[in-house]
Structure 1
């Protein structure tokens, strides 16, 4: 089944005609670029989220006061806090980079094998004027038997706000219905507010929030948010 469609997203009149089609190997490089750029765009949001945490603010104030008391120099105290902030941002960059690399060595290492050769799995791209501008995928949900998990949804920055993300989400929901799946689940992070708004607009309901067991999660306070779209509910 090719599962290709053309969408004009009636709720977004500014959007040019967009074709949603299955991934082909010629899309490989641009798909990876869209994913990588989208992840790098999360760095400032991640950094701002961490700076808002009370324990991080307390740490910065404590470091400033200690350095000021020891050096009796306002300049050195400010420099010390600035260096600490710079180190923190580099740490965030490293985490994002590591996630990208793990993805490239994981499902992105062979997209065709990961998504197009397995049941209840697929990978699509959104094409506008012959250019790939978005991606989405799905695979069987590990924690919800019989359901599919929406993954890898991303739209180029230059093409956001045009309804492409909604069209990609609809494609996964339609595919799941065709496979007889009762629901679609997805996981996102608590800092991806725009993504959460998109999913909620598409009828997804928040199921739960939880922290990953890694040490960095206890420091950053970035939660994983699970959403579910009940396909058996009227209107979905």
Structure 2
């Protein structure tokens, strides 16, 4: 199905970072040279090695390759300067990525449980309950051991309950739009799903579909990167894939939601040019008790065109 004049499966992000040349190099998407043999460079790869940046995209189109970090002199110099040493590529989702994509998202979200526990523990009413419990038990038992054991039990129980609630949220996501990725993100115009691939494994995901609240806006969703591939520019490249897709679709802005425990993600969004314009508390009993806030970000494409 064509999207904005190009096939969705053939869509690749444009050159996005003025300091880092991201280009089309390599050969077939999953081609791997035999042990001990060096891969033959494509025309795009030879252009990069020789510094022919202006002709890279045309050579890549002839080679029929996908988008990945370049390997020429300019790219090597940039990687030495920025410290981004990862070797990965961004490509459109394929059906064989289903389990790996869901696993990357679920594992990434599971990492936020400790931060969620600390956030809840800092709430005034929680501190008041713990302090009152400690004082009452200390006064009645005349012993320090019983209050300490009681608080330890309360904290352990709270940790289990929060972990279970967070696991239910992750399962809700997996049973929602991630239950049938192809139908949700590749079955309609204006939506898409990408993965970051390294060492023949899916190490990151991101999705985009029209935002329901505002006409002409695209919503960035399900951004996740495997822990051992972070701080290598993978998340930024996935974001830029969505921004490039939004430009191709003629959208005015890209919007996203981020929870208060996703500190690294929010910092990355702000570095990429997203601006926070609103912050809301989840309109549920749990959201109000735990003060779970959702930050809303926008990247205005019209202002940067």
Q: What TM-score, normalized by structure 2, do the two folds share?
A: 0.74
Structure 2 distance, partners of 1:148, 1:120, is 8
Give yes or no for the alignment of 1:3 onto 2:73: no
| SS in structure 2 at match of 1:161 | coil
Give yes or no for the alignment of 1:21 onto 2:128: no
Structure 2 distance, partners of 1:43, 1:16, is 27
| SS in structure 2 at match of 1:233 | helix
Task: Give the alignment partner of residue 157 of structure 1, picking from 203, 221, 227.
Answer: 227
8 Å contact from structure 1 (residues 7, 167) kept in 2: no
Instruction: Return the offset for 1:53.
Output: 2.1
Structure 2 distance, partners of 1:145, 1:80, is 53
Number of matched pairs: 235
Structure 1 distance, partners of 2:284, 2:147, is 31
Task: Give the alignment partner of residue 208 of structure 2, picking from 127, 138, 153.
Answer: 138
User: Match of 1:228?
Assistant: 298
Q: Which moved more, 1:70-79 or 1:10-19?
A: 10-19
Root-mean-square deviation (Å): 1.5
Give yes or no for the alignment of 1:203 onto 2:211: no
Which ranges of structure 1 fall in alignment gaps of 5 or more residues?
Answer: none
Structure 1 distance, partners of 2:84, 2:123, is 38
Instruction: Return the offset for 1:202.
Output: 0.6
User: Match of 2:126?
Assistant: 56
Instruction: Return the offset for 1:129.
Output: 2.5
8 Å contact from structure 2 (residues 287, 293) kept in 1: yes
| SS in structure 1 at match of 2:99 | helix
Which ranges of structure 2 fall in alignment gaps of 5 or more residues?
Answer: 1-6, 13-66
Instruction: Return the offset for 1:7.
Output: 2.9
Instruction: Return the offset for 1:176.
Output: 0.4
Instruction: Return the offset for 1:138.
Output: 0.6
User: Match of 2:183?
Assistant: 113
Structure 2 distance, partners of 1:17, 1:160, is 12
User: Match of 1:73?
Assistant: 143
| SS in structure 2 at match of 1:134 | strand
- Looking at CA atoms only, which structure, 1 or 2, has the larger radius of gyration? 2
Structure 2 distance, partners of 1:210, 1:125, is 30
Structure 2 distance, partners of 1:139, 1:84, is 42
Give yes or no for the alignment of 1:82 onto 2:90: no
Instruction: Return the offset for 1:184.
Output: 0.3
Instruction: Return the offset for 1:52.
Output: 2.0
- CA offsets 1:49-70 (integer angstroms, 9 cap, x no match): 1122222212211111112222
Structure 2 distance, partners of 1:118, 1:91, is 38
